[in-house]
């Protein structure tokens, strides 16, 4: 009955932590493609090939449902996977939908025409690949009109977080927020479009100011997954144990993951 959670590195642990607290009886298989992180600087074909390889490994571990807790993979690979690659008895879901549901205050199953929403000026902070894909803007356009989205490609932030250099990560976040505000001086909302960024959420909020609503993904994805499993209980796979897989050095990844989550995490080679 395992569910898979995939990320290019350690950022997806923020999602894992949130969904584990919300669904304590569901075992999860986490796959971190640490050997190839970060994905945010790779081209779409590369991201697609790496993502499908990881998802197949989680299917082998008994996960019929896999969450792409990686915005770059959700942006650059998910649609192509859903159109031509995923078998009918499997599901792969991304992390944009819960964000857009929260921003537009309408459920994804609501297929009425796009309409105006309360928020008009949105800042999007994401990896270069996610920004280049324009996937967030495309999905938002299906639900809302009249929303101005200004995207800021946050090069280097994921690398600094993965390396554990939070001082450098903070400096980069503040620099990227300054660059965004030069283009959009008064955003009403900010989307943290990378699952690494919740680790720096307080810094984003401080740099943006108290009047900006900051949307982070972990808790939104957890709530959405709980709702999905209630509606599709058959999608919980045959796996029965928690498992942490990595393409990187298991000892190094385990140490960093333990530091992130403040509890013992032991990865094994994928």
Give the number of domains in the chain.
Answer: 2
Is residue 191 domain-shared with residue 231, that is, in the same domain?
no
Of 191, 189, 199, nearest to 220 (Cα)? 191
Q: Which of 199, 215, 231 corresponds to the end of one domain? A: 215
What's the domain range around 234?
2-96+218-269
- What pLDDT is recorded for position 108? 57
Q: According to the model, what pLDDT value does residue 1 have?
A: 65
Is the confidence at residue 107, as pLDDT, over 80? no
Which of 215, 237, 255 lies at the terminal end of a domain, its last residue?
Answer: 215
Both 92 and 222 in one domain: the answer is: yes
Considering the chain, what percentage of its residues have pLDDT values greater than 70? Answer: 98
- 224 with 206, same domain? no
pLDDT score recorded for residue 225: 92
Do residues 82 and 178 both lie within one domain?
A: no
Shared-domain flag, residues 256 and 203: no
Q: What is the pLDDT of residue 147?
A: 94
One domain, residues 131 and 146: yes
Catalytic residues: 70, 194
Query: 145 and 202: one domain?
Result: yes
The most confident of the ranges 28-37, 158-167, 194-203 is 28-37
User: By percentage, how much of the chain surpasses pLDDT 90?
Assistant: 68
Same domain, 125 and 203: yes
pLDDT band at 178 (very low <50, low <70, confident <90, very high): very high
Averaged pLDDT of the chain: 92
For residues 20 and 63, membership in a common domain is answered with yes
Average pLDDT over residues 37-44: 90
Per residue, the 3-state secondary structure of the chain, as one string, reads: CEEEEEECCCCCHHHHHHHHHHCCCCCEEEEECHHHCCHHHCCHHHHHHHHHHHHHHHHHCCEEEEEECCHHHHHHCHHHHHHHCCCCCCEEECCHHHHHHHHHCCCCCCCCCCEECCCCEEEEEECHHHHHHCHHHHHHHCCEECCEEEEEECCCHHHHHHCCCHHHHHHHHHHHHHHHHHHCCCCCEEEEECCCHHHHHHHHHHHHCCCCEEECCHHHHHHHHHHHHHHCHHHCCCCCCCEEEECCCHHHHHHHHHHHHCCCCCCEEC
Confidence of residue 195 (pLDDT cuts 50, 70, 90): confident
Report the CATH number that the domain containing residue 115 is assigned in CATH.
3.40.50.1860
Does residue 124 sit in the same domain as residue 222? no
Please give the average per-residue pLDDT across 168-190, as a whole number. Answer: 97
Q: How confident is the model at residue 241 (pLDDT cuts 50, 70, 90)?
A: confident
pTM over 0.85: yes
113 with 205, same domain: the answer is yes
208/108 same-domain check: yes
């Amino acid at each position: 009955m395992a569910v898979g959670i995939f990320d290019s590195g350690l950022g997806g642990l923020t999602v894992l932590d949130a969904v584990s607290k919300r669904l304590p009886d569901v075992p999860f298989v986490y796959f971190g493609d640490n050997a190839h992180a970060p994905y945010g600087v790779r081209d779409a074909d590369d991201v697609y090939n790496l993502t499908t390889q990881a998802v197949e490994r989680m299917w082998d571990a008994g996960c019929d449902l896999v969450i792409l807790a990686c915005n770059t993979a959700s942006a650059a690979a998910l649609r192509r996977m859903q159109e031509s690659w995923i078998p009918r008895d499997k599901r792969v879901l991304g992390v944009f939908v819960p964000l857009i549901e929260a921003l537009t205050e309408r459920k994804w199953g609501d297929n009425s025409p796009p309409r105006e929403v309360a928020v008009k000026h949105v800042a999007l902070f994401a990896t270069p690949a996610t920004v280049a894909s324009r996937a967030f803007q495309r999905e938002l356009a299906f639900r809302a009109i009249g929303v101005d989205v200004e995207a800021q490609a946050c090069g280097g932030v994921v690398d600094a977080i993965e390396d554990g250099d939070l001082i450098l990560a903070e400096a980069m976040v503040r620099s990227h927020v300054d660059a965004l505000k030069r283009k959009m001086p008064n955003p009403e909302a900010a989307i943290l479009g990378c699952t690494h960024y919740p680790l720096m959420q307080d810094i984003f909020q401080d740099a943006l100011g108290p009047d900006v609503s900051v949307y982070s993904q972990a808790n939104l994805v957890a709530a959405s997954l709980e709702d999905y499993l209630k509606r599709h209980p058959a999608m919980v796979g045959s796996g029965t144990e928690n498992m942490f897989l990595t393409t990187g050095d298991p000892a190094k990844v385990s140490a960093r993951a333990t530091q992130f989550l403040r509890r013992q995490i032991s990865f094994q080679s994928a």
